[in-house]
Amino acid sequence: MQAGEFIEGLRRDFLLTTDDLKKIAEDFHGEMRRGLAGGRSSLKMLPSHIDCATGGESGDFLAIDLGGTNLRVLQVNLCGRGKARIERVRKFRIPESATHGRGEDLFDFIAKSIGVFTKKTGAVRRMGFTFSFPFEQDGAASGRLIGWTKGFSATGVVGRDVAALLRDAFHRNSVDKIEIAALMNDAVGTLVAGSYTDRRCDIAAIFGTGTNACYRERAAGIGKLKKSPADEGGHMIVNIEWGNFDRLPLNRYDLALDAETINPKCQIFEKMISGMYLKKIAAKIIEDMILQKIIFGGRIPARLADDFGTGDMSAIELDRAKGLPKTRSILRRLGAANSSTDERKAIRDVCNVVSGRAARASAAALFAVVTWIDPGLADRHTLAMDGTLFEKYPKFKGRVSAALKDLDPNKSSNIRMIHAKDGSGIGAAIAAAVAAKKSSNLFCDMSIRGTR
C-alpha cells in the first residue's frame, strides 16, 4: 500500500461528520441528565459547592495547583473589580516517586514545597487548593478522591479527603498556620477565574495533559444534592469530569491504546483528546505504517513509542518549509536517521488527522454543555479555556470554532472562547477569598445572634 492510500483510510477512520457531532452532543446530554440525578452515567457531574465569582473578591491569597507534571504554588493579589495579579509563582517538578509511590510521600512533597514558598511570603495564610482529579465534596473545603486519572497512582489516597491529607502533611513537615479555605478541580478554578473578569462566563474547559469541563448549574437542577437548593445558595459549579465520557465511535487505534493504559475502559474521551494520549495514538499509527512497510523500510525508530511528544506533533504540523526540515530533525531524534520528504509528509498527515478529530470531538462536548444551559443559544456565553493543547497546538482553537459553526451555523457566534491563562491558580485564590468572606459573615451572624 502507498502512503497516500493509507492516509485516506485513516481519514475515514478518524472522521467525525457533523451528524456524528450532533449525536455525541445528544448522548452527552443524556449522560449529564443521569449524572445530575445520581444515576449510572459515564459523567460524574460532581457538585463543587462553589459558585462563580462576582468580581469584587479582594485580598492576598495563596494557591496551589496540582495536576500534571508540576506543582505550582502562587501568591495572588485580588484587587477587586475583576483584576487579579500573580505576585509570585513557583513551579516544583513532581518526582515520579511521588506520583507513583505512597500517597504520604506525595502530600509530604506538596507540604514541603509550600513550606519553601511561604518562607518568603510571610503573612499570607489562606489558601485555595486546585486538585485536578475527580473528587466528591459535601462542602467547598474538602473532597474525597474518587480515583486517579492521567497516570497518577499514589497509594492510600483514593477514598480519602485530600484536604485532610494535606493538613496531616503540614503537621508532619511543620508547615504552620496555613488554612485550606477551598478545594477545587482545575476546571472549576478556571471558571471561577473566568467569571471574575467576565460575567457572561459560565463554562470552563481544560485541554492539557487531561481534559475536563465544568459549568454553572442551578442547585435545583442537581437532583443528587443532599442539602436543599436554597441552603446551597441557588447556583453552583458542577465538575462534569467529561474525560470519562464514553459514548464515542472508537477505532482500532483507540482500542489498542486503551488496552495498554493503567485504567482501561476509563477516561475514553480523554484518551481521544488530551495531550497525554494524542501523541500515543499518533505513535501507534506511525508504527502501523512502518509495520506495513509503507514508510521507513519497515524499521521502527527506537525512541518513537517513548519520546514522541505532543510538542513534536505541534512542530510537525507547523512545518511548512520545503523538505520539512523540522520534522526531519524530530525523526532523527527519535531514531529514524534517514527519511524522505514523502515519508515526513505522511507523518504530518497523521498528526493532522489525530489532532483534527480531537478538536471536533471537543467541540461536540462544548456544544453539548452550552446547549444544556441555553438550548436555543439565545444568549452569549464566554467559555474560559486553558491547557497547552488549547494554548499552543496549531489550529486547535480554530478547528473547534469551525466545528461549533457546523453544529449551529446561525448561533455559534454566541459562543466566545477566551484563554484563561493560569486560571486554575487564580481561581483557587478567588475561591479562597469567597470562603474567607463566608466564614467572616458566619462569624458576624453568630455574634449578632449571640447578642440578641
Which amino acids are annotated catalytic? 150, 186
Total count of residues recorded for the chain? 452
Residue 250: how many other CB atoms lie within 10 Å: 14
Are 424 and 386 contacting, i.e. CB atoms less than 8 angstroms apart? yes
Q: Which of the ranges 132-140, 217-225, 332-340, 353-361 carries the binding residues for ligand GLC, by CB under 6 A?
A: 132-140
Q: What are phi and psi of 84, to 5 degrees?
A: -130, 145
Q: How far is the CB of 336 from ligand GLC (least distance, A)?
A: 32
Shorter beta-carbon distance to ligand GLC: residue 6 or 215: 215
Window 185-214: residues binding ligand GLC (CB under 6 A): 185-187, 206, 208, 210-212
Q: How far is the CB of 146 from ligand GLC (least distance, A)?
A: 9
Question: Binding mask 239-258 vs ligand GLC (x if CB under 6 A, - otherwise)?
Answer: --x-x---------------
Supply the DSSP symbol for 379: S
Are 351 and 317 contacting, i.e. CB atoms less than 8 angstroms apart? yes
Separation of alpha carbons 196 and 430, rounded Å? 8
* Sole binder of ligand GLC in the list 55, 128, 134, 425 (CB under 6 A): 134
Question: Binding mask 14-53 vs ligand GLC (x if CB under 6 A, - otherwise)?
Answer: ----------------------------------------
Shorter beta-carbon distance to ligand GLC: residue 243 or 423: 243
55 touches ligand GLC by CB under 6 A: no
Cα distances (Å, whole numbers) of residue 25 to 47, 244, 379, 447: 21, 15, 19, 50
Exposure string for 427-449, b = 16+ CB within 10 A, e = fewer: bbbbbbbbbbbeeeeeeeeeeee
| Number of chain positions touching ligand GLC (CB under 6 A) | 17
* Sole binder of ligand GLC in the list 41, 48, 118, 132 (CB under 6 A): 132
Q: How far is the CB of 148 from ligand GLC (least distance, A)?
A: 8
Q: How far is the CB of 443 from ligand GLC (least distance, A)?
A: 32
Cα distances (Å, whole numbers) of residue 209 to 42, 75, 356: 20, 24, 17
Question: Binding mask 153-192 vs ligand GLC (x if CB under 6 A, - otherwise)?
Answer: --------------------------------xxx-----
Please report how the helices 162-172 and 103-121 are oriented relative to each other, as an axis angle in degrees rounded to 10: 70
Separation of alpha carbons 10 and 243, rounded Å? 24
Chain positions contacting ligand GLC, by CB under 6 A: 67, 132-134, 149-150, 185-187, 206, 208, 210-212, 241, 243, 270
